[in-house]
Amino acid sequence: MSMLVINGGRALAGTVAVSGAKNSVLPILAATVVNAGRNVLHNCPDLRDVQSAIKILRHLGCKVTREGQTVTVDSSVIERWDVPDDLMREMRSSVIFLGPIIARCGRARLTTPGGCELGPRPIDLHLDALRRLGVHIEERGGEILCEAGKMEGRDIILSFPSVGATENTMLAATACAGVTRIINAAREPEIADLQEFLQKTGANITGAGGSEISIVGGNTRRDTEHRIMPDRIEAATYLCAAAACGGDVTLRECEPEHVGTITSALSEGGCEISVAGRSIRLRAERPLRAMPPVRTMPYPGFPTDAQAQMMAVACTARGTTIFLENIFENRYRHVGELMRMGAHIKVSGRVAVVDGGAPLHGAMVQATDLRGGAALVIAALAAHGESRVGEIHHIDRGYEHIETVLSALGADIRRE
Ligand code: UD1
């Protein structure tokens, strides 16, 4: 079992180039299924979840190659419409293949994603939307069996702006006759990136980034080239690391507007932040001061995917910072591990109160989930002494060579 061994207490300095976004590349890989052509995707991070998505594409009959950060998916021929249970289990978000397979094949067979580290991961909103578009769905013994009747565009009103449900509906709607409108759609930038890819394939789709998306159905088969947007959560993670450790770090190839809630919280904590084009420079002197309450919300609110990393920063900042997790039920599993390092945190339901400023010390800790794991790395970088972070397969799901990036910034971190 590999682990990260970190000797904390060093300031970070230098430049990091942000990778392509995990939460954008996965739905876009799934979307290649609806475009019966050659899809060339640049800036694809080499993450485990991306490898899992590629396995699913190959299972369906697509020809997939990777050269550096470029993945080419030839989906001219699709031979299957199922995703086997082992592949579904490898990656929770594989449910994003449901809409595209139905759109392309008129039927689909998947297994339910079940729960995950963040609590139950329901897909009722995905299935309700597909049913309204004319898909007959049977859920039997953990299987989801879908048969498309005559698919017709309708108004789909989401009761919550779910990212996954919005993406699945957009993709299924490409096969519907007429116009589908998604109302109360998720507004995350990754959805706008998916729309941009689909537009390049010739799909008639508008509105992504706002809360109403319109899709005029129609098949596409056009060779397409697209560059995946920068990963705003990776950017947030390295900004938090620099804030917690102190130092002077510049992110390149990022989209500053996408991390506005992160940079504004960090500047309230005393970090000096400057933006120039597609780069962000953060300078911090320790200790920071406590930040205003952090409430996770759908975009453009504070991202749930950066809550844990910001909590690690709050542990190093003098004073009390309050967190309110509104998106996922079970997203404080990193708290117990942070407390092993000397953090003072009290959790009650969706609220966590961090009394920051007491020095953190090195400890043996375990990543409980992807972003919680990133928070432990940040805390360990800021702590005195040696930490060992285990269960790092969680971290590898979302960060390509995290130790190489952080070492280049001057951190003492190695994989053992
Ligand atoms: C996506 C991201 C994930 C991120 C999350 C929030 C991908 C692959 N995953 O997940 O990394 O943490 O957005 O930004 O992009 N819900 C329902 N019923 C549904 C669907 C969702 O009740 O059918 C609830 C969920 O339980 C959760 C909330 O809605 O409480 C948000 O979920 P959603 O926006 O769908 O997140 P994901 O698409 O799963």
Distance (Å, whole) CA 323 – CA 39 = 41
Distance 82 CA to ligand 1 centre (A): 22
Measured from the Cα of 23, ligand 1's closest atom is 15
Question: Taking the CB of residue 277, how many other CB atoms lie within 10 A of it?
Answer: 8
Distance 93 CA to ligand 1 centre (A): 9
> Quick one: CA dihedral 291, 293, 294, 300, positive or negative?
negative
pLDDT value of residue 228: 98
Residue 328: CB within 6 Å of ligand 1?
Answer: yes
pLDDT value of residue 235: 98
Q: Which residues contact 277 (CB under 8 A, 6 or more apart)?
A: none
In degrees and rounded to multiples of 5, residue 26 shows phi and psi of -65, -55
Structure tokens at 262: 């992160």
Residue 24: CB within 6 Å of ligand 1?
Answer: no
Measured from the Cα of 233, ligand 1's closest atom is 11
**Residue 238 vs residues 149, 268, 313, 315: alpha-carbon distances, Å:** 47, 17, 11, 16
Cβ pair 298, 304 in contact under 8 A: no
Cβ pair 92, 109 in contact under 8 A: no
Residue 75: CB within 6 Å of ligand 1?
Answer: no
The residue to which tokens 């995990």 are assigned: 22
What torsion do the CA atoms of 333, 294, 384, 249 make, to the nearest 10 degrees? 120
Measured from the Cα of 93, ligand 1's closest atom is 8
Residue 296: CB within 6 Å of ligand 1?
Answer: no
pLDDT tens readout for residues 229-266: 999 999 999 999 999 999 999 999 999 999 999 999 99
DSSP 190-249: HHHHHHHHHHHTT-EEE-BTBSEEEEE---B---EEEEPPB-HHHHHHHHHHHHHH-EEE
Distance (Å, whole) CA 274 – CA 395 = 28
Question: Which residues have a catalytic role annotated?
Answer: 116
pTM metric for this prediction: 0.96
Residue 43: CB within 6 Å of ligand 1?
Answer: no
> Quick one: CA dihedral 357, 359, 364, 370, positive or negative?
positive
Q: Which of 345, 326, 348, 324 is nearest to 334 (CA)?
A: 345
**Residue nearest atom 31 of ligand 1, based on CA coordinates:** 162
pLDDT value of residue 116: 63
Distance (Å, whole) CA 13 – CA 33 = 42
Mean pLDDT in order along the chain per 10 residues (416 residues): 95 98 98 97 96 97 98 97 92 92 97 70 93 95 92 97 98 96 98 98 97 93 96 98 98 98 98 98 95 98 98 98 94 97 97 96 97 98 98 94 97 97
Classified as helix, coil or strand, 125 is helix
Cβ pair 337, 376 in contact under 8 A: yes
Question: Taking the CB of residue 392, how many other CB atoms lie within 10 A of it?
Answer: 21
Residue 178: CB within 6 Å of ligand 1?
Answer: no
Annotated binding-site residues for UDP-N-acetyl-alpha-D-glucosamine read 92, 121-125, 305, 327
Distance 298 CA to ligand 1 centre (A): 9
The residue to which tokens 């053992």 are assigned: 416
Structure tokens at 325: 């997790």
